[in-house]
Chain A
Amino acid sequence: MTATFLPWIVVLMIAVAGVQIGRRLRLWRRGQPAPVDWLGGLRALPKRYLVDVHHVVERDRAAAKMHVPLAGGLVAACGFLLIGLVTGLTAWRFFWALVTLAFLAMTAGALLEIRRRYPRRLARLSGGSWQTFPFALIAFAIASGLSALFATFGNALPALELLTLILAAVGGVALAATAAEGPMRHALAGATHLVVHPRPQRFGGGRSTELKPLDLDAEKLGTETPADFAWNRLVAFDACVQCGRCEAACPAFAAGQPLSPKHLIADLAAASAGGERPPYHGNPYPNARPVGGRIGLHAPIVSAEGVIHPDTLWSCTTCRACVEECPMMIEHVDTIIDLRRFQTQERGAIPLKAEEPLANFRGCDEPNGRVLAERTDFAAGLKLPVIAAGGQTDVLLWLGQAAFDLRGQRTLTALIRILTAAKVDIAVLGADERDCGDLARRLGDEATFQRLASANVAALASVRFRRILTADPHALHVLRNEYPAFGGTYEVVHHTAFLAELAAAGRIPLSPLAGRSITYHDPCYLGRYNGEVEAPRRLLDALGLERHEMARSGKRAMCCGGGGGAPVADIPGDTRIPDLRMAQAAETGAKTVAVACPQCAAMLEGVTGERPVVKDVAELFLEAIEAAAMRPAEAVRALEVEPA
């Protein structure tokens, strides 16, 4: 009896799931067109799933231990049954033993999932249908497994077997029925998303973090309604499994600002469907602002009447922690920037404080309204040649916004003195260096960014250099990854990498700063955006510092709160992000926090009370040089460092 019906139950489940996901398919098709390499995506699907996705899932061991048997068992069992149906293997008892084993694995996985939710579920998980979902899974797994077991031993108990088969059919169809609106959707939309992912370059160890240029001649700039999203972005929203890892990593959520990446994605998935707003069973936005909740494919998303309050949008620091943690490979930051672009460019609906730097950008190419020619003023007395058009240098130093800020100037002064001591051939653009436009772009002002980018690319084209050196990871990211779209491809190196090179080359005598305990705070735009987490640590170790790691470090580091225009948008929360981060730094017992970004330095130095000292890596390096110079000449030795 099982041999006859169980495979057909699977066929029925696939048919039901197909009909359900077909409803979403029709919805996805109403998004904007997007170029998708279907063949390449399909070919890469197994690898993307088994390697890239698993790599992320595995960071939460308990989740991996649950999901591997659960999904593996379900897919294997259904696969076996379909093969059996086609090939006629169902007459063979050993085949049924295999199917039983697969369902057994699934049962074990479902049990583990129940353990994650009972007696109390993890705070980041969603309740509602997600809470009852494992019971549907386990009911189907046990009923089907028992049916397969009966089939393994021949039709011994036909009455019981009929009962388990009916249960299996009911459980299976109930599962398949949730493929459109319920938890099962994550599997089908998730697989589709892996095939049609908008950033295929990020799989297989690659990286794709740059924002895509916006066509400024488009009818509508940015995203207003769900229908304005590219269709594969709509797929991404449906892929969300509401695991809440993004929420756990989000600095704005932690600080009590009204942002939860998970809630945002769930809202967008709900908004694209229209109709009644489905209930959300996760954590609410902290200090949630009231919204009207009107949803629909063509209803504005961000407004007091829509589903997402503007404060939610402007709380984001674009730190990409959510993207880094997402096992479904959803690109939250792209989504937020798309929504911001519409708010800024079409509605001018930007927090008034954030409009100030944008107005300055339009007026004088500098967010604080400073004179570009005064950028090098801080370096009076230092050797810092300004390169004229047609000039040539080995290393072009990109000063960035830090040159106008007293704290940033200390770092830059240290850096310039190191470079002078190392006899590096450097020069700056002087008045031709406009702001890189990072802030304008993250605030959604794409027009200003593109104007600045074109002007800077033109200025850089007028001089000859081998590579660009900068102490600002934001400028680094923009110059390295976002200017190529505007015709400027450069070799850009961050000062941590450059100084690590210098230390490794042993050209400068360094005296170890032994006995000082430090902890290194990774800038998001260096670590997550550019994957540079090794060089700064290598450098700090070369300086002889005793390095303690924070619980969240490297690519999983927590943001300082300074990115994405969040400090200028200044959305109030319960606490401040830099306070949280500084507390984590203090927890390591280190007396110094080493930073590598002027934004991080400014944010972390703004923390009041007793706290570790904030030092840029360049300042520590200069201390080591100066310590070496203080010692008698014979005692000086160049520090030997293992080459990378």
Chain B
Amino acid sequence: MKTTVLLSHARHPVSDRPQLSRLEAQAIALAAEVDEAPSGLHAGRNETGVVAALGHGLTALDRLDLADTTDPLSALAAFLTRQRFDLILAGRRGEGGHETGLLPYRLAAILGLPILADAVAITPGAAVETLVVDQAMAKGARRRVTIRLPAIVTVHPLAPPPRPFAYGPMRRGTIRRHPVDGSANAADLDTAEERPHRLRPKLMRQSAGQAAGANLYVDPTPEEAARLILAYLEANGIRRYGPLNDR
């Protein structure tokens, strides 16, 4: 099964040095399950981070020689169309680039391939040109899906840990550098809105039952409000004095 792993331009959260994203390293480990010699694909000029992918289990790395300000989508699509991979694995989003998380989906749209998100395990299907994917769902649930190849599959952080890095194989791995014709578009950033990051409170898990019911009261009296709050606390087991009516 001819497999490639899309490698983004990630940066280390502490040192800000270019590095291989952990999720993509996990994708390599998954790729190695179905392909003896998986390759990787990176669009960008800087090799220092992604070259580590060769030490995590890739045998070869294709690098599209593309400026960092360029939208890699069309160049990637053109390359993938030429190479005809059976399986394209990707992380969820870049780490340190523009990080829209949309690239795999837009790629799937251009290439006309099915895309399946959040894989934690892959195995070749019983029929030829199929792949069995275990998808991670909320609360630890798993769903087993069989898809027809070729396809794009993104990897979930709960996939098995990456293979430990090995310096020797990285040194021996091949890097194929591909020039890209100048027609590539600059990244379409103008339409994007930019605003300062704002921390949002964590969504608290709602307990089952009545607490999930309507609890929006518009302009209640203070006494009514107090009664409602106490009733809410009682109902959710935060305060235990018995119903107010009993006193």
Interface residues of A (CB under 8 A from B): 216, 220-221, 344-350, 352, 355, 358-359, 362-366, 369-372, 445-448
Give the number of residues in B that approach A within 8 Å (Cβ atoms).
17
Given contacts A345-B168, A447-B167, 6 further A-B contacts (CB under 8 A): A346-B166, A352-B161, A352-B164, A359-B165, A362-B52, A371-B14
Query: Could you tell me if A370 and B164 are in contact, using CB atoms closer than 8 angstroms?
Result: no
Residues of B near A370 (CB, < 8 A) are 14
By the criterion CB–CB under 8 Å, are A349 and B14 in contact?
no
- B169 & A364 in contact (Cβ 8 Å cutoff): no
A61-B19 Cα distance, complex, nearest whole Å:
57
CA distance A446 to B165 in the complex (A): 13
B163 close to A369 (CB less than 8 A): no
A363 near B14 with CB under 8 A, answer yes
Is B12 part of the contact surface with A, judged by Cβ < 8 Å?
yes
Whether the pair A362, B19 counts as a contact (CB closer than 8 A) is yes
Q: In the bound complex, do residue A363 and residue B15 qualify as a contact, i.e. CB atoms below 8 Å apart?
A: yes
B residues sitting closer than 8 Å to A (CB atoms) are 12, 14-15, 17, 19, 52, 55-56, 161, 163-169, 171
Closest chain B residue, CB of each to CB of A346? B168
A348 to B12, CA, bound (A): 21
Distance of A354 from chain B, by nearest CB (Å): 8
Q: Among B15, B52, B165, which residue has its beta carbon within 8 angstroms of that of A364?
A: B15
- A364–B164 CA distance with the chains assembled, in angstroms: 17
Interface contacts (Cβ under 8 Å), in number, total 55
Return chain A residues, CB-CB under 8 Å to B171: 216
A345–B19 touching, CB < 8 Å: no
User: Which of A344, A363, A365, A366 has a CB less than 8 Å from the CB of B19?
Assistant: A363
The complex places the Cα of A221 from the Cα of B168 at a distance, in Å, of 7
**Closest CB-CB distance, A104 to chain B, in whole Å?**
59
Q: How far is the CA of A355 from the CA of B19 in the complex (A)?
A: 16
Closest chain B CB from A435 CB (angstroms): 12
Instruction: Give Cα A290–Cα B166 distance, bound, in whole angstroms.
Output: 26
Given the complex, which residues of A lie within 8 Å of B164, measured CB to CB? 344, 348-350, 352, 355, 358
- A479 CA to B161 CA in the complex, in Å? 34
Q: List 25 A-B contacts (CB under 8 A).
A: A216-B167, A216-B171, A221-B167, A344-B166, A344-B167, A345-B167, A347-B166, A348-B56, A348-B164, A348-B165, A348-B166, A348-B169, A349-B164, A350-B164, A352-B161, A355-B165, A359-B165, A362-B19, A362-B165, A364-B17, A366-B14, A371-B15, A372-B15, A445-B167, A448-B167
Q: How far is the CB of B189 from chain A (nearest CB, A)?
A: 28
Residues of B within 8 A of A216 (CB): 167, 171
Give the residues in chain B near A365, CB-CB below 8 Å: 15
Among A220, A344, A446, the most chain B Cβ lie within 10 Å of the Cβ of: A344
User: Is the pair B168, A369 in contact by a Cβ cutoff of 8 Å?
Assistant: no
CA distance A427 to B15 in the complex (A): 23
Determine the distance from Cα of A370 to Cα of B12 in the docked complex, in whole angstroms. Answer: 12
Q: CB-CB < 8 A to B12: which residues of A?
A: 363-364
B166 contacts which chain A residues (CB < 8 A)?
A: 344-348
Q: Determine how close the nearest CB of chain A comes to the CB of B54; give it in whole angstroms.
A: 11
Residue on B with the closest CB to A352?
Answer: B161
Chain B: CB-nearest residue to A363: B12
Which residues of A are found within 8 Å of B56, using beta-carbon distances?
348
Chain B residues lying within 8 Å of A363, measured Cβ to Cβ, are 12, 14-15, 17, 19
Interface centre among B12, B14, B163, B168 (most CB of A within 10 A): B168
- Residue ID in chain A nearest B25 by CB atoms: A359
In angstroms, Cα B206 to Cα A269, docked, is 65
**Smallest Cβ distance from A441 to chain B, in angstroms?**
13
Of A221, A359, A445, most buried by chain B (CB within 10 Å of CB) is A359
Which residues of the partner chain B approach A364 to less than 8 Å between Cβ atoms?
12, 14-15, 17
B19 touches A220 (CB 8 A): no
Residues of A within 8 A of B169 (CB): 346, 348
Contacts of A445 in B (CB 8 A): 167
Inter-chain CA distance A603–B143, complex, in Å, is 44
Q: How far is the CB of B33 from chain A (nearest CB, A)?
A: 16
Distance from A382 Cβ to chain B, minimum over Cβ atoms (Å):
24
Give chain A nearest CB distance to B59 CB in angstroms: 14
Expressed in whole angstroms, the Cα–Cα distance for A258 and B84 within the complex equals: 49
Top 4 nearest A-B pairs (CB, nearest first) are: A348-B166, A364-B15, A346-B168, A355-B164
Which residues from chain A contact B15 at a C-beta distance below 8 Å?
363-365, 371-372
Tell me, in angstroms, the Cα distance from A355 to B55 when the chains sit together.
13
The complex places the Cα of A371 from the Cα of B16 at a distance, in Å, of: 10
Cβ–Cβ < 8 Å partners of A346 in chain B: 166-169
Evaluate contact between B163 and A348: CB separation under 8 angstroms: yes
**Residue with the greatest number of chain B CB neighbours at <10 A, chosen from A216, A344, A362:** A362
B165 surroundings in chain A (CB, below 8 A): 348, 355, 358-359, 362
* Contacting residues, chain A, for B17 (C-beta < 8 A): 363-364
Q: What residues on A are CB-neighbors of B168 within 8 Å?
A: 220-221, 345-346
CB A370 to nearest CB in B, in angstroms, measures: 7
Q: How far is the CA of A548 from the CA of B188 in the complex (A)?
A: 74
Q: Which residues of B contact A221 (CB under 8 A)?
A: 167-168
Distance (whole angstroms) from the CB of B21 to the closest CB of chain A: 11
**Docked pose: A369 CA to B13 CA in angstroms:** 9
A364 and B15 CA atoms in complex are apart in Å by: 5
Q: Which residues of B contact A348 (CB under 8 A)?
A: 55-56, 163-166, 169
Q: What residues of chain B lie closer than 8 Å to A349, measured between beta carbons?
A: 164
